[in-house]
Amino acid sequence: MAEIKSTMDIIMEKAKKYSVTEEEKKAFKRREVEAKIRGLIQKYVDGIVDSQRLEEEIAELRQEGQEEPERLVRKETLDLVQPGESNAPLLEILSSVAGMDIGPIKKLLNDFDSRMGDERAKHEKALRADLQKKGISGSAVIPNLDADEEWLRVKSEAAQTCKETLRSFS
């Protein structure tokens, strides 16, 4: 009588046909390490782990023989930096864990904030002038920049340019 195969036996027979190359194994491991670093960074930003624990986890990755965990920390952290937002925890990671000189990054972010402040004032003035032409004026009139497509476009383009420059630091 014929032997009845279990589902596991069938799966194991089919799996024998496939093999994973060394390059694929390295890619899987790299993605795993990147995800772990990304998670650690997010936990630090959220206040779940402190800087000492973050540094210990990165040191463990280094001891496990992972390729350049500091480079991955730089890359992942710089990806999270948002121009115009508070980036203090991320800058702290770049400085203390990744060992980066954050002076140029701070300058870039401060320049962005300054330029956006100037642009914001310019767009508010233009919107006030448009409203005044329509007979709407007074101290209670506050232009809604978030509804102005031109302002949103300028802001988005400037943020994108800043993000591209930030990526060059990694």
- pLDDT tens figures, 73-86: 999 999 999 999 99
Q: Distance between alpha carbon 30 and the CA centroid of its chain, in Å? A: 18
Angle between helices 51-63 and 22-45 (to 10 degrees): 170
Mean pLDDT of 123-148: 91
User: Which region among 10-14, 40-44, 68-72 has the lowest average model confidence (pLDDT)?
Assistant: 10-14
Cα distance between residue 24 and residue 50, in whole Å? 34
Confidence band of 110 (pLDDT split at 50, 70, 90)? very high
Identify which has the larger pLDDT, 103 or 4: 103
Mean pLDDT of 57-81: 85
Determine the pLDDT at residue 67.
67
Cα distance between residue 100 and residue 168, in whole Å? 13
Cα distance between residue 93 and residue 76, in whole Å? 11
Determine the pLDDT at residue 79.
93
Mean pLDDT of 9-18: 72
Determine the pLDDT at residue 1.
43
